[in-house]
């Protein structure tokens, strides 16, 4: 009896093995077909009409004329025939776990847990604004690591993220905690002084989940007691940071306002200069020579001038930086320095990220296509993600947005995104609304 039972079980198992490939072959592949009015090729500026983007899972399979792409049984169609379709935008300088409230008490009383909750809200807002990928450059308590992981696990909605964890800085510098007096002995989590210490800190933040390293090469604006023009890390310290980061497969973003700090960070081999307020001709020449990206973070100046109410300890520094930053950014762009879009969102409300493009075009003189490339191809290249983001091409993530009108004629249209897909999942669809 037992032998007979074993024969039956073995036969059934063999039958399953033999029939599974046949069943798999007969199971239709589920596809999503985006029927687009026109699709922007961000490499060339070409706007092809009546295109269909075919998506399987989280990836783009093909882009072809709608007439040659019939619907198959099981396909899902998304009708965007009245819209212009383009790749999801990328912001390489965000602070999703921060809010634009710079009252010192608010800064001191916001726990890591609360910053993570703030981050969950801001991640959704940013995604729905059409930014399907971001770099988060600086967060307390590795809250951005948890935010990234929670998005990847499907617990909350948000963009693809690269995160830095705590930014590295010197004692008493922009990335330290300087609001409390001596007896509290409060020190920023990323503070490290000297070559050996900064090497250890790079390894530590990577240990706890950082995708990139953020450093403070100079003083900053929204910090107490430091000068944005003053260099902070030495050239030797920054070289040590970059050497360890690159050896361990991480890029380095340098907060740098002052000209000396910009030059040293560039010579040290950082991958991007963030802000660049006081950059001079020597800095610009060095950045071109070394191939660094420049991340201007310019719209925050306009927002602050119109809406900002900073505490007195920050207000004058913001006024001084705002007086020079745009003119120097314009010179760098005219000189041919590579530009990647970054906003510093959190200095102003999240979700307004696309206003940065308006500044690039209507104040800095970039063409709409060049501005769009800063938020797609260039940003993806800076992040090392050209194989997965930045354009609508087979093999890339199905990160797709759509707008009414033509953003290559009026880039401000991108401030009103009507459709957002990330990794093949639709997160916003207002395509029926004018």
**Each residue's pLDDT tens digit, 344-355:** 999 999 999 999
Instruction: Report the sign of the C-alpha dihedral through residues 338, 414, 424, 121, in that order.
Output: positive
> Does 74 have pLDDT greater than 50?
yes
Q: What pLDDT is attached to residue 18?
A: 47
For residue 261, is it within any domain?
A: yes
| Whether residue 84 is found in the same domain as residue 102 | no
| Whether residue 192 is found in the same domain as residue 64 | no
| Whether residue 142 is found in the same domain as residue 243 | yes
> CATH number of the domain that 48 lies in?
2.30.40.10
| Whether residue 149 is found in the same domain as residue 248 | yes
| Whether residue 206 is found in the same domain as residue 216 | yes
Domain that holds residue 290: 89-383
| Half-sphere exposure for 426 (CA within 13 Å, toward CB) | 16
Question: Among candidates 347, 257, 255, which has minimal Cα distance to 310?
Answer: 347
> Does 231 have pLDDT greater than 70?
yes
Q: What pLDDT is attached to residue 308?
A: 83
| Whether residue 346 is found in the same domain as residue 422 | no
How far is residue 302 CA from its own chain's centroid? 21
Residues marked as catalytic: 214, 344
Give the pLDDT mean for 55-68.
97
| Whether residue 185 is found in the same domain as residue 143 | yes
* DSSP sequence for 28-93: PPP-EEEEEEEEE-TTT--EEEEEEEEEETTEEEEEEEGGG-PPPTT-EEEEEEEEEEEEPEEEEE
Say how many C-beta atoms besides its own lie within 10 A of residue 62's C-beta: 14
Q: H/E element holding 2?
A: helix 2-26
| Whether residue 354 is found in the same domain as residue 416 | no
Torsion angle of C-alpha atoms 58, 164, 148, 97, degrees rounded to 10:
-130
Name the average pLDDT for the chain: 93
For residue 222, is it within any domain?
A: yes
Give the pLDDT mean for 188-194.
95
**Each residue's pLDDT tens digit, 126-151:** 999 999 999 999 999 999 999 999 99
Which structure tokens are listed for 140? 């307390």
For residue 275, is it within any domain?
A: yes
- Say if residues 408 and 368 touch (Cβ distance below 8 Å): yes
| Whether residue 305 is found in the same domain as residue 187 | yes
| Whether residue 202 is found in the same domain as residue 105 | yes
Which structure tokens are listed for 231? 């260099």
Pick 40 or 7 by higher pLDDT: 40
Domains in the chain, number: 2
């Amino acid at each position: 009896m037992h032998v007979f039972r074993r024969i039956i079980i073995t036969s059934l198992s063999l039958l399953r093995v033999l029939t599974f490939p046949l069943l798999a072959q007969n199971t239709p592949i589920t596809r999503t077909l985006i029927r687009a009015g026109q699709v922007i090729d961000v490499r060339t500026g070409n706007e092809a009409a009546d295109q269909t983007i075919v998506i399987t899972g989280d990836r783009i399979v093909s882009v072809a004329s709608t007439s040659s792409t019939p619907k198959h049984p099981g396909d899902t169609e998304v009708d965007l025939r009245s819209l212009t379709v383009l790749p999801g935008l990328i912001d390489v300088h965000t602070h999703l776990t921060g809010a634009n409230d710079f009252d010192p008490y608010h800064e001191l009383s916001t726990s890591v847990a609360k910053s993570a909750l703030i981050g969950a809200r801001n991640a959704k807002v940013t995604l729905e604004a059409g930014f399907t990928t971001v770099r988060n450059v600086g967060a307390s308590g590795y809250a951005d690591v948890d935010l990234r992981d929670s998005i990847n696990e499907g617990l909350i909605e948000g963009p693809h993220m690269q995160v830095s964890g705590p930014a590295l800085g010197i004692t008493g510098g922009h990335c330290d905690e300087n609001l409390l007096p001596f007896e509290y002995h409060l020190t920023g989590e990323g503070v490290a002084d000297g070559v050996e210490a900064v090497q250890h800190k790079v390894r530590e933040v990577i240990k706890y989940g950082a995708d990139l390293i953020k450093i403070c090469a100079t003083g900053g604006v929204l910090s107490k007691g430091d000068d944005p023009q003053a260099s902070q890390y030495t050239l030797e310290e920054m070289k040590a940071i970059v050497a360890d980061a690159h050896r361990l497969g991480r890029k380095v973003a340098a907060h740098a306002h002052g000209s000396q700090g910009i030059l040293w960070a560039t010579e040290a081999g950082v991958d991007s200069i963030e802000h660049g307020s006081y950059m001079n001709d020597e800095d610009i020449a060095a950045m071109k020579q070394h191939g660094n990206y420049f991340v201007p973070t310019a719209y925050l100046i306009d927002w602050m001038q119109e809406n900002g109410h900073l505490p007195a300890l920050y207000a004058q520094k913001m006024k001084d930086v705002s007086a020079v930053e745009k003119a120097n950014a314009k010179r760098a762009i005219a000189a041919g320095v590579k530009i990647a879009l970054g906003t510093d969102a959190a200095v102003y409300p999240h979700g307004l990220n696309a206003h940065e493009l308006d500044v690039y075009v209507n104040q800095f003189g970039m063409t709409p296509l060049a501005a769009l490339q800063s938020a797609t191809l260039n940003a993806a290249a800076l992040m090392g993600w050209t194989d997965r983001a930045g354009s609508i091409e087979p093999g890339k993530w199905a990160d797709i947005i759509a707008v009414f009108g033509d953003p290559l004629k009026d880039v401000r249209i991108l401030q009103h995104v009507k459709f957002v897909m990330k990794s093949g999942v639709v997160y916003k669809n207002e395509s029926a609304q004018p």
